[in-house]
Chains A and B, each alone.
Chain A
Amino acid sequence: MPTVIVNNKPVEIGPSEKLNCIQAAERAGDTIPSYCWHHDLSVVASCRMCLVEVGEKKPDGTIAMQPKLSPGCQTPVKDGTVIVSNSEKVLAAQKATLEYLLLNHPLDCPVCDQAGECGLQDYSYKYGRGYSRLQEPKNIKPDKDYIGDQITLFTDRCIMCTRCVRFTREISGTAEMQVVSRGTHEEIDIFPGEPCNNKLAGNVVDLCPVGALCSKDFLYQQRVWWLKSKNSVCPGCSTGCSITVDQNEDVLYRLKPRENPQAQGSFMCDEGRFGWKYAQSDRRLTLPEQRSAGKTISRDWDVVLSSLGTTLADLSDQKSGAFVVAISPWATVEEAYLLAKFAKDVNPNARLALGPVRTVGEDDLYPKDIHGQPSLPTRFTIRAEKCPNRRGVEAVLNHFQGEVVPFSSVLGDVESGSVDTLFVLGGDPEGWISEADVPKLDKLKLLIVQDLLGSPASAKAHFVLPGAAWAEKDGTFVNHNGLAQAIHRGLRGPEGSRPDGRILFELSGRSGLFHAASLRQEIASQIPELAALSVGDLGEFGVSLTSAAKTEPQPVG
């Protein structure tokens, strides 16, 4: 195995691994600071923050160091490479580099949105000098408040790492951004009349290590040190991007991609990034309701749930096909399991169906070439299937029903009048039934809707159960590739709504509290297709169902 020596510590790397000094140092537990380098982008070595001493250990044991410092990001390591990142020479270079980067920086941290998660702040604190010797006026460039519909540029804060430029050239392929002028007058800009509005544009804000590129959506909403983050999964499409949910006092402020090589990589699309506003819209259902002949009977959780339980228990003798349960692909695996099991317990003849799977157009592949056609290799995919958990719900339905019944066939049966009772577990912000199809529900004797947003269909329902948005509940989503990832309750929903898992847990009359990890183990023991969930805690990156690792169930919670 090739061995690299980082600050006198030998580190083994894989025989065919291609690492640079920064990555090798990371293996050794050392950090080499860097701004312009990003593992998903090409190397430019322009920020000079990662300068280190590099040398080689010869087979005879002598070490020959290069006389000059080398940028760690641009220097590949091989067997015998020696890296020194903590010598006096390197520390002095880091100090000088930071002083240069801050020469024209306005130091307006108090009004900068990046303050608190800023690379310049962190490195100045760790590697910088703490004061400036500049006595000349700073070179201040005017702000450009229209880089794109969602992006604004504070030109004076930029350190010219060109991560954003490389992102639009290499990952999105749309190449809207560029560097104009030379030397100290360098600026990031867009090509005239070509705003950065591609579907991955929001990522340049995350890539920006300083507060130059800011998201207009989040601008001045919160100071970042007030935000509390929870790991979650984007529900926007079946790619299932790993994200963090950032909230303060139960108000969701932003979603950020979380690096997960098993899911999507380092990025996420703007549809997901900005598409969560429905979760805080005033269309949210906020109180349960029991109706009879159009009149409200109760809006109290205890009353509604217990009378729903008795009503459903009375259905036990219904004939086959008269009781249909539709589980939307927006439900988590746990919710699908609880509802399917409950329905089959109440009435073994209950028919389980998959809620409508919304698809929009074709899979959108990036990078694009100049004609807008996807070019290989694909770096990011926005999938046409706009639901997060079709595979997970299908696995549950296959186990309980033996087949996956599409929602269209259920709707046909409902229209013909052969269905008496329909229980819909929704969650799709676009709704589970089109407005034109709502009259088809008229023949139902009993309609139970558990959903996120109010709709004409929920206005008709005999029982309405206000559920929670994905950011407000614990559970599991299985993405297009069979990767099961955990979502976590990041914030509380509106008063009166409850996490769907809890509603179904109480409805099924189980004792105790809804606990996703224990429920995952129960599911894994019953459904072979989901056996990989037996670990309970799916960790940061999730567990692949296809490579079902047979591990002993761990006690959780």
Chain B
Amino acid sequence: MPINPKDIEWVEEPSMNFWESTYLPAVFDGLRTTGQHVADFHPVTEFYPEQKPDLPSHYRGVHRLNRDDKGRVKCVACMMCATACPARCIDIVAQDAPKDDPHWADRDKFPKSFVIDELKCIYCGMCEEACPVDSIELTNIFDLTGMSRQEMMFDKEKLLSVFDQTKDSANNPVRTHKGKLGHASDFTNLHTLGPATTVRADDRSAKANSAGVIE
């Protein structure tokens, strides 16, 4: 659609006065800034890679797969991360947990294979948001290199080794120690949940003091 001429406002450049037209105030103003830097002895140059930058803990770098308190992979292979991933770089093959093994008694499902293509990944952190057990996390390892594409396909062992490397570093705290599926399955420490959705004012049952009793 063409612009209506009525909507156009023409602005004229303000005219310069005598001193401005000599350009001298602007020249001295620039020299003043230069002089300030001459007097300032704080260096701004970063000596990478001799000095590594101090990144904040929410920096999104290479992924890791956390371990639970038994040393097993915490991931339950729910594939929420693969569903959320906009780059489709996560490939998980699930398997049912060994039924007879007491080590796996509290788990139904675990990842047989878990591969992240670090070259496809856009490091958006959606996988971390989607994970219901806080298993996948992004570390602040950013200087990732590899000699081949295959090397950049991080499998389960490699992702767990990233966890072992980074779990004790101050910038990569293990954010949760819960290994179960959300609050509801955490039976020993169950507390009343706040409403996940807003409660309507006319919801009589939500206001009831005890379950099932509706005034």
Q: Which of A25-33, A130-138, A522-530 contacts B (4 or more CB under 8 A)?
A: A130-138
Interface 1/0 per residue, B178-196 and A, CB below 8 Å? 0001101101101111111
B212 touches A88 (CB 8 A): no
A92 touches B205 (CB 8 A): yes
B190 touches A220 (CB 8 A): no
Chain B residues, Cβ within 8 Å of A111: 76-78, 108-109, 181
The 9 closest A-B pairs by CB, nearest first: A110-B78, A130-B197, A220-B94, A107-B184, A130-B196, A111-B109, A110-B132, A131-B195, A131-B193
In the complex, whether B58 has a CB less than 8 A from a CB of chain A is no
Distance of A154 Cα from B96 Cα, bound (Å): 12
B96 touches A219 (CB 8 A): yes
B182 touches A107 (CB 8 A): yes
Chain B residues, Cβ within 8 Å of A130: 195-197
In-complex Cβ contact of A107 among B76, B79, B181, B210 (8 A): B181
Q: Who on chain B is nearest to A132 by CB?
A: B193
Q: Who on chain B is nearest to A94 by CB?
A: B205
What's the nearest-Cβ distance from chain B to residue A386, in Å?
32
Chain B residues, Cβ within 8 Å of A117: none
Main secondary structure of the interface of A (DSSP, over half): loop
In-complex Cβ contact of A88 among B80, B184, B204 (8 A): B204
A129 touches B206 (CB 8 A): yes
Q: Who on chain B is nearest to A152 by CB?
A: B96
Distance of A278 Cα from B142 Cα, bound (Å): 47
In the complex, whether B177 has a CB less than 8 A from a CB of chain A is no
Q: Who on chain A is nearest to B195 by CB?
A: A131
What's the nearest-Cβ distance from chain A to residue B78, in Å?
3
Distance of A143 Cα from B194 Cα, bound (Å): 30
In-complex Cβ contact of B211 among A92, A99, A109, A110 (8 A): A99
B99 touches A135 (CB 8 A): no
Main secondary structure of the interface of B (DSSP, over half): loop
Interface 1/0 per residue, B75-94 and A, CB below 8 Å? 01111100100000000001
Q: Which of B45-75 contact A (CB under 8 A)?
A: none
Chain A residues, Cβ within 8 Å of B161: none
Chain B residues, Cβ within 8 Å of A100: 212
Assuming the contacts A135-B190, A223-B83, A225-B83, asked whether A107 and B185 have C-beta atoms less than 8 A apart, the reply is yes
Interface 1/0 per residue, A94-114 and B, CB below 8 Å? 011001100100111111000
In the complex, whether B214 has a CB less than 8 A from a CB of chain A is yes
What's the nearest-Cβ distance from chain A to residue B43, in Å?
50
Interface size on A, residues (CB 8 A): 33
In the complex, whether A145 has a CB less than 8 A from a CB of chain B is yes
Distance of A110 Cα from B188 Cα, bound (Å): 20
Assuming the contacts A106-B185, A130-B197, asked whether A220 and B211 have C-beta atoms less than 8 A apart, the reply is no
Q: Who on chain A is nearest to B181 by CB?
A: A108
User: How many residue-residue contacts, CB under 8 A, span A and B?
Assistant: 83
For this complex, 23 residue pairs linking A to B, each with C-beta atoms less than 8 Å apart, are A88-B204, A95-B203, A95-B205, A96-B205, A106-B184, A107-B182, A108-B108, A108-B185, A110-B78, A111-B108, A130-B196, A131-B196, A133-B210, A134-B190, A135-B190, A135-B192, A137-B187, A137-B188, A220-B109, A221-B94, A223-B78, A223-B79, A226-B83
Chain A residues, Cβ within 8 Å of B182: 107
A92 touches B212 (CB 8 A): no
B83 touches A99 (CB 8 A): no
In-complex Cβ contact of A96 among B96, B196, B212 (8 A): B212
Chain B residues, Cβ within 8 Å of A135: 190-192
Chain B residues, Cβ within 8 Å of A221: 94
In the complex, whether B95 has a CB less than 8 A from a CB of chain A is yes
Chain B residues, Cβ within 8 Å of A108: 108, 181, 185
What's the nearest-Cβ distance from chain A to residue B132, in Å?
5
What's the nearest-Cβ distance from chain B to residue A102, in Å?
9
B184 touches A220 (CB 8 A): no
Chain A residues, Cβ within 8 Å of B133: 110
Chain B residues, Cβ within 8 Å of A137: 187-188, 190
What's the nearest-Cβ distance from chain B to residue A99, in Å?
6
Chain A residues, Cβ within 8 Å of B80: 110
Distance of A100 Cα from B210 Cα, bound (Å): 12
Chain A residues, Cβ within 8 Å of B181: 106-111
What's the nearest-Cβ distance from chain B to residue A100, in Å?
7
What's the nearest-Cβ distance from chain A to residue B114, in Å?
13
Distance of A129 Cα from B187 Cα, bound (Å): 21
Chain A residues, Cβ within 8 Å of B78: 110-111, 223
In the complex, whether B202 has a CB less than 8 A from a CB of chain A is yes
Interface 1/0 per residue, A476-489 and B, CB below 8 Å? 00000000000000
Q: Who on chain B is nearest to A99 by CB?
A: B211
Distance of A216 Cα from B210 Cα, bound (Å): 40
Chain B residues, Cβ within 8 Å of A96: 205, 212, 214
Q: Who on chain A is nearest to B94 by CB?
A: A220
A154 touches B108 (CB 8 A): yes
B202 touches A88 (CB 8 A): yes
What's the nearest-Cβ distance from chain A to residue B183, in Å?
9
Distance of A375 Cα from B27 Cα, bound (Å): 105
Distance of A88 Cα from B95 Cα, bound (Å): 45
Chain A residues, Cβ within 8 Å of B99: 145
Distance of A103 Cα from B205 Cα, bound (Å): 15
What's the nearest-Cβ distance from chain A to residue B165, in Å?
27
Q: Who on chain A is nearest to B99 by CB?
A: A145
Chain B residues, Cβ within 8 Å of A143: 108
Residue picked from B187, B191, B211, most chain A C-beta under 10 Å: B211
Q: Who on chain A is nearest to B131 by CB?
A: A110
A134 touches B211 (CB 8 A): yes
Chain B residues, Cβ within 8 Å of A145: 99
Chain B residues, Cβ within 8 Å of A99: 205, 211-212
Distance of A451 Cα from B193 Cα, bound (Å): 60
A132 touches B184 (CB 8 A): yes
Residue picked from B184, B190, B192, most chain A C-beta under 10 Å: B184
Q: Who on chain A is nearest to B183 by CB?
A: A107
Chain A residues, Cβ within 8 Å of B190: 134-137
Q: Which of A144-193 contact B (CB under 8 A)?
A: 145, 154
Chain A residues, Cβ within 8 Å of B185: 106-108
What's the nearest-Cβ distance from chain B to residue A216, in Å?
9
A131 touches B214 (CB 8 A): no
What's the nearest-Cβ distance from chain A to residue B129, in Å?
14
Distance of A152 Cα from B80 Cα, bound (Å): 23
Distance of A230 Cα from B204 Cα, bound (Å): 43
Interface 1/0 per residue, B91-123 and A, CB below 8 Å? 000111001000000001100000000000000
Distance of A225 Cα from B182 Cα, bound (Å): 21
Q: Who on chain A is nearest to B206 by CB?
A: A129
- 18 extra A-B contacts, CB within 8 A, seeds A129-B195, A129-B203, A131-B195: A88-B202, A92-B214, A96-B205, A96-B212, A96-B214, A107-B184, A108-B108, A110-B80, A111-B109, A130-B197, A131-B193, A131-B197, A132-B184, A132-B193, A133-B192, A137-B187, A140-B187, A143-B108
A220 touches B77 (CB 8 A): yes
What's the nearest-Cβ distance from chain A to residue B108, in Å?
5
Distance of A110 Cα from B191 Cα, bound (Å): 21
What's the nearest-Cβ distance from chain A to residue B77, in Å?
7
